[in-house]
Structure 1
Amino acid sequence: MKNQLRHLSLTTRLSISFSIICCTVFFAIGLLSYHNMQHLLAKQRDQNLTARVERIEIFLQDQESFQILVQHPRLYENMLGKEDNLLILKNQQLALIEINPLKVHIPDMAESKTITFLDNQSEFATTRLAYKTVVFNDQHYQLIAGTQLDEAQSTLDQYLWKLILYSLLGIVMASLLGRWVGLYLLKSLNNLIEQTHKIQGTQPHQRIEVKSTTVEVDKLSSAMNAMLEKIQINYDQLARFSEDIAHELRTPLNNLMGQTQIMLMQSRSQQELEQLLYSHLEEYERLSKMIDNMLFIARSEHSDYIIEKENIDLSNLILELVHYFEFLAEDRLMRFVLELEKGIQIYANADLLKRALSNLIINAIDYGFEDQDIVISTKSTENHIDIEVLTKNVFIDKQHLKHLFERFYQIESSRHAKAKTGGLGLSIVKSIMMLHNGEATAYNTQEGIVFSLKIKYLT
């Protein structure tokens, strides 16, 4: 059944669902109406019987009228006007009035000072009875009035058939109307499906344009366009990545092939061959480093990649790194200026955090000017911790800032002076921050370019 429903269109499903709802609603309304009609007829029947008993009671209050009624019971039978009606007036000895043309069985009745109702038999009743004990001339009389149930049942049967007919007509009309409304409301959705089918991989900038009358379809088309935009961005990044990685791999490979070809042109001494091998080893190490970095980035992008974390004193970690890189900075006459907030504890992976900060420090040393300061500062806020590395008097154009953390992205003017991470240093920083549910950003200040790491307290 589920497989069959799966092949039905949304319009058909909505029509079927609407028809089922209409059937349920009409059935419930019809059932309530039938029971209400049954109750009204029963109430009206009892009211008629009550009025009949009260009229006879009025006759009994007048001696002369009572004698006429007793002597001529047919008069009241003619007043009733229906052959199936019943009226009996009796005392303990005899029946003074007995109008019972259908010979209905009258059950035994106890005395009752109020009008009481009952059926002539507990099962398959045919007559509704009302009786009351009245006192006249110091004698107790039992007054019984009755009417047949067939008339009310006939009215109910006619009403039931009309309910069924009108309900069926209502269900059919509501189903057809629901089908039409479904087609109208889902017209824009079908147009969206058609336009989606028309999108080809050869037209990456193509977008969905649907004139819709429903908010949901507008939201869906906007969401799909946003998804296409993200796909386009990722596609562009992948294309740029493919181009950059080809460039990065081509350079060391060309060096290896060129050096080897030159050496093979003539016989070489053992010392020259050793120098060639050392040169090749450097290129191999560069390729190995690049591959390791790419593998790390690829693994870190998986949601199931888990890292071990611990509480770390941030100031001690930064001081350790600064002490390690002091000699490199001194070679370029650069100084570290530390503005560290004391007592900051951070929950992170120490090795990865060191790697991220090391990449930023190496970046600052490689691209900073000689005899300038590298300012490393920390600041804690209510929700997160900021770690900033400022390279003074170095500025990056605004159009490059949003691409700095992409793989192999290099500012053209500095492509010849790459860092020691094979063009993946800042991308690794971004990946490490993602593993810590943090973020890495870069922005210009009046003093220079700032690379900022933002980590939440509990990540």
Structure 2
Amino acid sequence: MPRRSLTATLALAFAGTTLTVFVLVGSFLYIALDHQVKIQDDLDIVLAARHTRRLTQELDALSAVHEHEDRLTSLVLGNEALSMQMTDPAGHVLIEHNTANTAAAPGTETPPGKRVAASARITDEAIVEWRAKSGAPVRAVSADAMLRDGTVTQILIARNMSDRWRLLDRYRDKLYIAGAAGAALAFLLSYLLIRASLRPLREVAASAARVTVDRLDTRIAVARLPLELDTLVASLNAMLERIDSGFRRLSQFTADLAHDMRTPLSNMRGATEVALARPRSADDYQALLESNLEECDRLSRMIENVLFLARAEHPQFMKNTREFDVGEELGRIAEYFEGLAEDAGAIVRVDGGGRLKADVELFRRAVSNLLANALRYTPRGGSIVLRAHEEAHSLRVIVENEGSPIDAAHLERIFDRFYRIDPSRTNQPKAGNPGGAAGLGLAIVRTIMELHGGTVHAESDTVSTRFILTFPRG
């Protein structure tokens, strides 16, 4: 199906609307003119009948009708459409004028209707209509007139409406021509005006076409933008801003991932090259394999975390959503980390609780990542507290540990992927750290909270550092 032009479609719509208006207005004017013409002609017929009756009533007898024929017929002279006929009580024609134009078609009664009595007033309500032999309509009035001797005559004043037909036909034709010309002119002017009005939209499209992979920082800027396009351009610029930001994050993520994967690979390659430089003992080769195995584990954890972040963007990622007791889950997590806490010389305590509807596996992973992170930075003899408490519309889980404070400049960025405050520590991850030391543990926590519609933020001072998970409660 061929695509339609918006400009042409709107122009046709305006032209159609204009034509419809012309038809409605023209029909109204045509009907109004036809009605007004009939009123005026009926008035002429009624006045002619009244004058004829008045003159007839002044006559003494029927013989005087012929004597005053010129005077009686003068009332319809000068108008070829008008005719007059006067008959006696027996129906014999006394006088007539121009009756050929108003003679009824065969089989038609003349007049087909009522006759005004001699004592009644002649009004337009007595007007009747029939068809002449030519097919043209004829409007007429029939009335009685009483002579002085008491004789009653019948007066018929008629008018052939063929000239009015022609007038209305010419008027209708002009309306057709005016309507067609007006619709065509409306289409042309609408097309030009709409095309000019859509020019800013074409400029927006041209500006958007200049945005490429190498120029994602380009924004749509159109001079004298119409108010109706402000929201569109603002939305497009916001979308480009998000794309630019996402692309930059992706580029940084790729660079960081390549850098972090290169480190263990370089370690394995360097250690292997040193070991192969000369013959080694079995213990040396065993130590090399153990070191390489640690680096492989590190790469596996890194790949697993990257895959987790990629899968987390799928809308069906959360599968184990149910209501559970937060205090019990925190207790299980603390029990799982008990051995690692003893090795680190730290104490893990659980405080508080509550009910929460969330994905249990993701909840455990988020808290485990925070707890593993706390174990890495808690000094020996320090304590870590897993605290939960309910609020009006949310539930907060806080992982608090003693240790050196985090600078305020890092508090928000520590949740970015591959961001690390202390790069020197990244090459020595502790066993059992679910997030590893690759800078993905806290990023995973933030992703999990976003999946639940919640938030995560960090607070740090000289006393302790606190990671706060805020889960909404439906």
Read off the aligned partner of 1:426 and give its amino acid letter. L
Post-superposition CA distance 1:135-156 (Å, at most 9, x none): 7488876654322221211211
Query: Which residue is 2:119 aligned to?
Result: none
How far off is 1:354 after superposition? 0.8
Matched, 1:388 2:398: yes
Post-superposition CA distance 1:319-339 (Å, at most 9, x none): 222233344345445444545
The residue matched to 1:386 in structure 2 has which SS? Answer: strand
Task: Measure, in 2, the Cα distance between the counterparts of 1:51 and 1:299.
Answer: 97
Matched, 1:111 2:119: no
Task: Measure, in 1, the Cα distance between the counterparts of 2:42 and 2:113.
Answer: 19
Distance change >3 Å, CA 36–CA 66, structure 1 → 2: farther
How far off is 1:57 after superposition? 5.0
Which segments of 5 or more consecutive residues in structure 2 lack a partner in the other structure? 117-122
Q: Out of 214, 219, 222, which is 1:210 matched to?
A: 222
Query: Which residue is 2:266 aligned to?
Result: 254
Matched, 1:405 2:421: no
Task: Measure, in 1, the Cα distance between the counterparts of 2:146 and 2:388.
Answer: 111
Read off the aligned partner of 1:316 and give its amino acid letter. E
Matched, 1:31 2:27: yes
Identical aligned residues as a percent: 28
Task: Measure, in 1, the Cα distance between the counterparts of 2:61 and 2:233.
Answer: 89
Q: Out of 287, 312, 315, which is 2:299 matched to?
A: 287
Task: Measure, in 2, the Cα distance between the counterparts of 1:456 and 1:440.
Answer: 12
Post-superposition CA distance 1:231-278 (Å, at most 9, x none): 221121111111111121112111221222222223333343333333
Q: Out of 59, 84, 89, which is 2:81 matched to?
A: 84
Q: Out of 219, 237, 240, which is 1:225 matched to?
A: 237
| More divergent stretch after superposition (249-258 vs 36-45) | 36-45
Task: Measure, in 1, the Cα distance between the counterparts of 2:298 and 2:101.
Answer: 116
CA contact (8 A) 1:104 1:127 kept: no
How far off is 1:22 after superposition? 2.8
Q: Out of 361, 371, 378, which is 2:388 matched to?
A: 378
Query: Which residue is 1:162 aligned to?
Result: 174
CA contact (8 A) 1:364 1:391 kept: yes
Q: Out of 435, 438, 452, which is 2:454 matched to?
A: 438
Q: Out of 263, 279, 301, which is 1:267 matched to?
A: 279
How far off is 1:53 after superposition? 4.0
Post-superposition CA distance 1:392-412 (Å, at most 9, x none): 565433443333332222224
Task: Measure, in 2, the Cα distance between the counterparts of 1:338 and 1:65.
Answer: 134
The residue matched to 1:128 in structure 2 has which SS? Answer: strand
Query: Which residue is 2:200 aligned to?
Result: 188
CA contact (8 A) 1:312 1:345 kept: yes
Read off the aligned partner of 1:104 and give its amino acid letter. A
The residue matched to 1:252 in structure 2 has which SS? Answer: helix
How far off is 1:298 after superposition? 0.7
Task: Measure, in 2, the Cα distance between the counterparts of 1:415 and 1:431.
Answer: 24
Read off the aligned partner of 1:273 and give its amino acid letter. Y
Task: Measure, in 2, the Cα distance between the counterparts of 1:291 and 1:123.
Answer: 103
Query: Which residue is 1:3 aligned to?
Result: 2
How far off is 1:214 after superposition? 0.4
TM-score (norm 2): 0.82
How far off is 1:122 after superposition? 10
CA contact (8 A) 1:88 1:98 kept: yes
TM-score (norm 1): 0.84
CA contact (8 A) 2:322 2:357 kept: yes
Matched, 1:429 2:428: no
Task: Measure, in 1, the Cα distance between the counterparts of 2:214 and 2:258.
Answer: 23
CA contact (8 A) 1:59 1:66 kept: no
Task: Measure, in 2, the Cα distance between the counterparts of 1:52 and 1:110.
Answer: 19
Query: Which residue is 1:19 aligned to?
Result: 15
Post-superposition CA distance 1:361-398 (Å, at most 9, x none): 21222223444443433344444333233345654334
| More divergent stretch after superposition (56-65 vs 401-410) | 56-65
Task: Measure, in 2, the Cα distance between the counterparts of 1:282 and 1:160.
Answer: 97
Distance change >3 Å, CA 87–CA 293, structure 1 → 2: same
How far off is 1:345 after superposition? 2.7
Task: Measure, in 2, the Cα distance between the counterparts of 1:425 and 1:336.
Answer: 19
Task: Measure, in 1, the Cα distance between the counterparts of 2:454 and 2:219.
Answer: 32
CA contact (8 A) 1:60 1:66 kept: no
Read off the aligned partner of 2:37 and give its amino acid letter. L
Which segments of 5 or more consecutive residues in structure 1 lack a partner in the other structure? none
Distance change >3 Å, CA 455–CA 13, structure 1 → 2: same
Read off the aligned partner of 1:28 and give its amino acid letter. L
Matched, 1:297 2:313: no
CA contact (8 A) 1:336 1:376 kept: yes
How far off is 1:90 after superposition? 4.6
Matches of residues 313-324 of structure 1 in structure 2 within 5 Å?
313-324=325-336
Task: Measure, in 2, the Cα distance between the counterparts of 1:124 and 1:376.
Answer: 108
CA contact (8 A) 1:127 1:146 kept: no
Distance change >3 Å, CA 53–CA 370, structure 1 → 2: farther
CA contact (8 A) 2:394 2:472 kept: yes
CA contact (8 A) 1:107 1:121 kept: no
Query: Which residue is 1:357 aligned to?
Result: 367
Task: Measure, in 2, the Cα distance between the counterparts of 1:252 and 1:27.
Answer: 83
